[in-house]
Amino acid sequence: MLEVAIPHDIESKIKQISRERKMSESSIVTNALRYYLPLIEEGLETEFELWDALSDEALISFENKLQKIDIK
């Protein structure tokens, strides 16, 4: 079992929602994480794709500079 320290303001909000919706605090946190974690994974995939594109552009630029040096 994972134990996490939650800031007081978030803990208070979880308790409030727990009372209002008659849900356990644990289920609120679990549901929030089930929703949020896939979004993080998608964001990482997009970020990795952007890094690859930037890396490719940098490599092409570097190769072009090398070719210009060889021509001179």
Position 72, amino acid: K
Q: Can you tell me which residue has the tokens 């940098």?
A: 58
Calculate the alpha carbon distances from 39 to 6, 7, 25, 28, 65 in Å. 20, 22, 22, 17, 39
Is the pLDDT confidence value at 71 over 70?
A: no
Q: pTM of the entire structure?
A: 0.54
Tell me the pLDDT tens digit for each residue of 20-60. Answer: 999 999 999 999 999 888 877 776 677 777 777 788 787 78
Domain boundaries defined on the chain: 26-71
Helix orientation angle between 8-21 and 25-71, rounded to the nearest 10 degrees? 130
